[in-house]
Amino acid sequence: MLIFREVSMENVQPGTGNATEQPVPYNLIKDGPNDERLTAPEMGHLWEMYLYNGSVKCQLQYFTAKAEDPEIRGVLEFALQTKTTRLDKITKMFNTVGFPVPHGFTDEDVEPNAKRLYSDSFMLVYIRNIINFELVESMMGLTRAIRTDVKEYFNASIDESQDLLKKADEVLLRKGVFVKPLNFPLPDRIEYVYQDTFYGGLTGDKRPISSLEVTHVYTRLQTKMLERTLVLGFSQAVQSQKVQKLLSKGKQMIDKQIEGWSKILQDEDFPLPVTWEHQITDSSESPFSDKLIIFTVLTMMRNSIILLGISLANCSRLDIVTAFSASIVKLQAYTKDILDLMINSGWLEKIPQTIDRMEIINQKQ
């Protein structure tokens, strides 16, 4: 027996965003695996990746239209192709169970003919940076998936992201833009820790920074400098004053984090990562909708929280642990500000939730 409910169902070609109203069988399996419904982890990860891939697809439509360097444009076009394919695959999996495909982002959210906002090099470095988010999310999705088609999707996503990372690195190396990781002194003996001074302190003498700690501080600083450039470009092009005000608040937060983490590296006599502000043009014409811009910033902040959590687990020196912990708290507060703006603007699609049984019971009273 099929149980029907009224929902807004995407009855269109995969990857588009036009909705038509019709009853959808909630437990219908059509051309799907001999399994049943999507599990909660499968549903949540696929829903999240649909929105993410749709947003990046729009960005890549603009990037490929503006890129002048043939090699960089080739990598961006490959990335665009992967996003289109992933959206099609997720749409197909949703359709096998009658799950309403999210609206996400469409051609209405991008203007490929807008003036250039960023340089070719920055566009490629930015795309390379967000591969970190894709790999982390795809790995979590893979380890939590049960259905064969869902596992295949996340496996393919990981392979594509690795291939894209390789292509991007090769081009950036040839262009002399790739920034190699820091070098570190080679140890000459094995040592053990016998004193609690290993944790260091907030003030006074601190032990030398470890290879993992300097890696995470440097990498997070690299990411923040890319975020600062992206937000700065968005700020000069965005249309809404409310969005611009929120972006300015985010830039101030990023600046403070850059200042704090830079001091840790400078105190250890390590060089700082390169900055990218000079890769922004003087254009004030927005290539993206305000909805897409604020969603992109939200995704960046979520990615930062995830990666800071990983960094936090790999650091022991108290000043570094404190800096990372404080950054997570500030990022969470800023993320709430973004969500509030999206809710008030009608931009936030609701992630699938469980049945509110109390609401059903109260309706009968």
Q: Does domain 37-177 have CATH number 2.40.50.140?
A: no
User: Which residue is it, tokens 């002048």?
Assistant: 68
Check residue 204 and give its pLDDT. 61
Check residue 185 and give its pLDDT. 85
* Angle at which helices 40-66 and 290-313 cross, to 10°: 120
Compute and round to an integer the Cα radius of gyration of the chain.
23
Check residue 200 and give its pLDDT. 74
User: Which residue is it, tokens 């969470």?
Assistant: 332
Would you list the domain boundaries of the chain?
37-177, 200-345
Check residue 30 and give its pLDDT. 46
- Nearest to 232, CA basis, from 257, 256, 254: 254
pLDDT digits over 4-17, tens only? 334 444 444 444 44
Check residue 203 and give its pLDDT. 58
- Nearest to 227, CA basis, from 193, 198, 253, 262: 253
Check residue 39 and give its pLDDT. 92
Check residue 34 and give its pLDDT. 53
Check residue 104 and give its pLDDT. 95
CATH architecture assigned to 200-345: Up-down Bundle (1.20)
- What is the rounded CA–CA span in Å between residue 195 and residue 292? 51
Q: Is the pTM of this model over 0.75?
A: yes
pLDDT digits over 321-353, tens only? 999 999 999 999 999 999 999 999 999 999 888
Domains 37-177 and 200-345 share a fold: yes
- What is the rounded CA–CA span in Å between residue 101 and residue 293? 21
Check residue 202 and give its pLDDT. 58
Classify residue 241 by burial, with Cβ atoms within 10 Å: 0-12, 13-18, 19+.
exposed
Mean pLDDT (10-residue bins), the chain, 365 residues: 39 43 43 68 95 97 97 97 96 93 96 96 94 90 94 96 95 88 88 80 75 94 95 95 96 96 93 92 96 96 93 92 95 97 96 85 81
CB 105 within 8 A of CB 55: yes
DSSP string spanning 301-322? HHHHHHHHHHHHHT---HHHHH
